[in-house]
Chain A
Amino acid sequence: MSDGISSELTNELNDQLNAAIELVNSLSEKDLETFHSEDTGEEGPMTVRRLLHRINTHHKDHIQHIIKVRKKLGFPVSEVETNIAEIRASRAYLTSIIHSLSDENMNKDIEEKTDLGNLASVSAGENRYTIKRIVGHVMEMTNNRLNHIRDSIKNK
């Protein structure tokens, strides 16, 4: 449940994120080396790579800033909020690294024919070990754990 300002800011942050993703998605690996300026106070020139890096580190700086301020003001970040942030970050990483994959690549057999963690190399219905199956496995295990949480709360 979010109040007016936080809800408005969240929407603005999401819009900005979407615009950032659109821009960054259009970059090639080579573009990362492109020179922007001889920025002062930096070791070496400011490149596209470094500008992207600064966006990340600046977020980290001020995430810690807000965490500190919330503690000081008497409404510290809870463990539940931290968990949500970590799950969101993991899910964002996951979706980012599969987003650009074609169906062909999603379904490509990795052909290792070995088990990976608790993901068997060959399933009953699908004799293939693919990225699609790995993602499906993450979703299935997440669902299992969410159901266990629901059960635990219901039975407490």
Chain B
Amino acid sequence: MNNKSDKYKKSLEETYDQTTLYTQEINDSTLDTELSSKQSVRTVLQNLISEYHGTREQLLWTKWGQGIPRSESRSLIADLSAARIEFISYFLDMNDNQLEQNVAPAEGESAESLINKMLLLEKQLLSLLKENK
């Protein structure tokens, strides 16, 4: 029975999606903006990241204390999710024209071609895992 886990995952993801509407408006020049909590946008973001890291360890100890292994697989899948989200985050602010430009420092590649490369690799992973099912 994973009812509660599923429900909390959904709640966190829904809240995250709502916050994304605002975080995608943030840029470097607005990081110092003071919020009603008297903290800057940078500080509230840094604090939440830090809370995630600290609370993640505590969460793992709730498992450890019950004899549930830390799990290399969970850790790997989490790293993969973080890599995907970081990748998406870096192209979300690019318009269509910027995505299509072939750029010399990137070995002549366009952002679009790099996104398609990752899409292809994701599809390869999907079919390999499907085969193994």
Contact = CB atoms under 8 A, between A and B. Distances in A.
Contacts of A42: 28
B15 interface: no
B27 interface: yes
Interface string A108-129: 0000000011100000000000
By secondary structure, the A interface counts as: loop
B87 interface: no
A61 B32 CA distance: 25
Contacts, number: 16
Nearest to B61: A117
Nearest to A44: B29
A151 interface: no
A116 B31 CA distance: 35
A69 to B, nearest CB: 11
Please classify how large the interface on chain B is, using the bins under 10, 10 to 19, 20 to 34, 35 or more.
Answer: under 10
B61 A43 contact: no
B64 A118 contact: yes
Nearest to B28: A43
Interface residue tally on A, bucketed by range: under 10
Interface string B20-34: 000000011101100
B64 A43 contact: no
Interface string B52-66: 000001000100100
Contacts of B32: 33, 44
Name which of B27, B28, B31, B61 has the most chain A CB atoms within 10 A of its CB: B28
Nearest to A49: B42
Contacts of A118: 64
Nearest to A47: B32
A116 B27 contact: no
Contacts of A50: 28
16 contacts: A33-B32, A42-B28, A43-B27, A43-B28, A43-B29, A44-B27, A44-B28, A44-B29, A44-B31, A44-B32, A50-B28, A116-B61, A117-B57, A117-B61, A117-B64, A118-B64
Interface of A: 33, 42-44, 50, 116-118
Given A33-B32, A42-B28, A117-B57, 8 more contacts: A43-B27, A43-B28, A43-B29, A44-B27, A44-B29, A44-B32, A117-B64, A118-B64
